[in-house]
Structure 1
Amino acid sequence: MHAQQLSAAGPAFPTGFIPLAGTREDCDACARGERLGFQFTYAYQPIVDVQARAVYAHEALVRGPAGEGAMTVLSQVTEANRYRFDQACRVKAIKGASELGMAVPLSINFLPNAIYKPELCIRTTLEAARVHGFPLTNIIFEVTEGERIEDGPWFAEILREYRRLGFRTAIDDFGAGYAGMKLLADFQPDIIKIDMDIVRHVDTNRARQAIVRNLVRLCEEMGIEVIAEGIETPAERDLLRDAGIRLMQGYLFARPAFRAIAPVDAAAFGTPTP
C-alpha cells in the first residue's frame, strides 16, 4: 500500500472495488475462482517439529488446477485482480484443509499490498473458517519478506489486527528480502522462517552458522518461534537442531502433496535427542 493512499479515515479503495460482505455465496465463489477468471488449487507441505517428531503445521502452496507450478498461477495475478486473488487464496486453502481433515495449523501466504482495511478484508476469511469449521487459532498468515512492503507501519497494523482476531502471523524467507530487522522493530510476528538460501549447506558454512545462531538468540529474546525452511540433507537438519531450531520444512521431510496431506517418514527426524 502506497503511503499517499492512507488517510485518517483509512486507505482508499481502488476504482471498481466492492467490499465483500463475507457471505456463504462469496466464500463459494472465491473457492471456485469465479471472480478471477482463472482456476488454481493447492498442494500442502508439512512443517515438522523434530523434537516432538511430529507434524507441526502444513503450508498451503498455490498450484495450477492440474498441479502446475506456482508461477503458472502467479503470472496471471495483476493489480486489477490482486485483491480477489488474495481473498480466493484464503478461502480455497481453508476449504481444502478442512476437506482433508487437517487437525494441525494451516499456514496461508497472503499479499499485504492487496489489503485496504484489515478489519474489512478479513471478513471473507472469517466466514470461510466458520463455514468449514476450521479454528481461527489453527490459521497462520505468512508473508514473504521478499515482497516489497511499501508501507512498513501499515503492514504492522495489518499483522496486529490479525493477531487481535486470534490468527498467528509469520514472515517467510526472512533474511532474503527488503524488510529485515526494521520489520521486526515495527512488529514482532509469532514466527519467522529462515530463508532457504541461508539454510543451504549451513552445515559446512561458518558464516551461515553464525547468522543462524545469532538469529535464534535474537528470536528467543523477542519471543518469536523460528522455522528453518528448505532442509534437504540430514547434515543441515542436525546442525540446525543443535543450533536450537526444532521447527523445519523441506524435501528431507516431505515434498508438497497435491490436494493431499503428505506423510512424513519417521526416519527423516533422525536419531532422537535425549
Structure 2
Amino acid sequence: MRTRPSVFPIDFIPLAGTPQDCEDCARGAKLDFQFDYAYQPIVDVSRRIIVAHEALVRGPQGEAASTVLNQVNDQNRYRFDQACRVKAIKGAARLGFKESVSINFLPNAIYKPEICIRTTLEAARTHGFPLDKIIFEVTEGERIEDGPWFAEILREYKRCGFKTAIDDFGAGYAGLKLLSDFQPDIIKIDMDLIRHVDRKRARQAIVRSLVDLCREMSIEVVAEGVETPEERDFLRDAGVDLMQGYLFAKPAFMSVAPIPESAFGW
C-alpha cells in the first residue's frame, strides 16, 4: 500500500468545528447511537457486471436512513462522519467486495483533513481494502460555504489515492461552479433527471449535454435511480454505461443484492 502523501499546510483554515472535534476523532470517541449499512450495486450495463457498491446508512436492524441521520447534530457530526468511513470499509471487506465501495461524506464535518484522512487510511490498511477501490461521494445539494476550500479537500483525497464523486448532480447548489473548481472522477446524475428520461425531451437534452461535457473532461458518468427498461435503454443510447437503481437491485442490508440477468437488457 502506498505511503500517504503530505497533507494540508498547517495554516489551512477550516470552515467549521472546534479543536475538540478533532481530538474526539483522533481518540476514536464513540457515538451514542448505532448504525450500519446497506449496499446497492452500481453496474456497467455494456459489460454486464457490477463495478461498485454504494454504502447507504441504515439503522442497526436495517431501519431507514432517517432514523440515523436525525440523530446527527453539530456535537457529533465529526465523529459520525469518521465512523461512517470506518464502518463502510469494514463492511465492504467483510462482504468480500472486489469492486469499489462508494462512501458518502459530510464536507462541512471536516475540521482537520490530516486527521480525517488518516482515520480512513488506517481503516483501509486494517481491513486490507485497496485505496483505489474507495470512492468518496459528496452530494451536490450540500450547501458548501467555501467552494475553493471544498475543492482542495477533494484534491487531497485524490492525492491520497481515493476516487471522488459528486452525487445528485443537477439537483443542488453547486452545479457547474463546483465542476469548474474541481473535476471529480465520477459524476452521478440525480434521479429526478433520470425519471422518465425516455419520454422527457428537456431531460434528454440535459443528460446528453452532461455526458458530452464529462467525456471532454474525462469524468465517468453514473445514472442514479434507474427504474425502468426504457430509462436504461435511452441512457445506454446516450452513452451512459454505468447505472444504479431499483431496476438492477434495491439496497441490501449488510449483504450483496443479486442482479437478475434480464435487468441488463439486450
Q: 1:124 aligns with which of 119, 139, 144?
A: 119
Instruction: Work out whether 1:208 is the aligned partner of 2:199.
Output: no
- Superposed, 1:17-56 pairs within 5 Å as 17-19=21-23, 26=28, 35-56=30-51
Partner of 1:4: none
Shift of 1:150: 1.1
* Conserved? CA contact 2:25–2:78, under 8 Å: no
Count of aligned pairs between the two proteins: 257
Q: TM-score, normalised by structure 2?
A: 0.93
* Conserved? CA contact 2:134–2:162, under 8 Å: yes
Identity of paired residues, percent?
Answer: 72
Partner of 1:139: 134
User: For residues 203-254 of structure 1, what are the alpha-carbon distances to aligned partners after superposition, in whole Å with 9 as ceiling and x for unaligned?
Assistant: 0000000000011000001110000000000000000000000000000000
Which stretch shifts more, 126-135 or 112-121? 112-121
- Superposed, 1:1-274 pairs within 5 Å as 8-11=11-14, 13-14=17-18, 16-19=20-23, 26=28, 35-271=30-266
For residues 39 and 241 of structure 1, what CA distance do their matches in structure 2 show? 39
Say if 1:57 and 1:17 are closer, same or farther in 2 by CA, change over 3 A. Answer: same
Which stretch shifts more, 145-154 or 10-19? 10-19
For residues 224 and 25 of structure 2, what CA distance do their matches in structure 1 show? 36
* Conserved? CA contact 1:64–1:73, under 8 Å: yes
For residues 233 and 83 of structure 2, what CA distance do their matches in structure 1 show? 38
Shift of 1:20: 6.2
Which stretch shifts more, 150-159 or 12-21? 12-21
Q: Which runs of 5+ in 1 are unaligned?
A: 1-6, 27-33
For residues 233 and 166 of structure 1, what CA distance do their matches in structure 2 show? 35
For residues 186 and 118 of structure 1, what CA distance do their matches in structure 2 show? 19
For residues 89 and 62 of structure 1, what CA distance do their matches in structure 2 show? 8
Q: TM-score, normalised by structure 1?
A: 0.90
Shift of 1:21: 7.8
Shift of 1:119: 2.2
- 1:99 is aligned with what amino acid? R
* Conserved? CA contact 1:20–1:123, under 8 Å: no
User: For residues 21-54 of structure 1, what are the alpha-carbon distances to aligned partners after superposition, in whole Å with 9 as ceiling and x for unaligned?
Assistant: 868xx4xxxxxxx711000000000000001100
User: For residues 142-164 of structure 1, what are the alpha-carbon distances to aligned partners after superposition, in whole Å with 9 as ceiling and x for unaligned?
Assistant: 01111111110011000000000
Shift of 1:15: 5.4
Q: Which runs of 5+ in 2 are unaligned?
A: 1-9
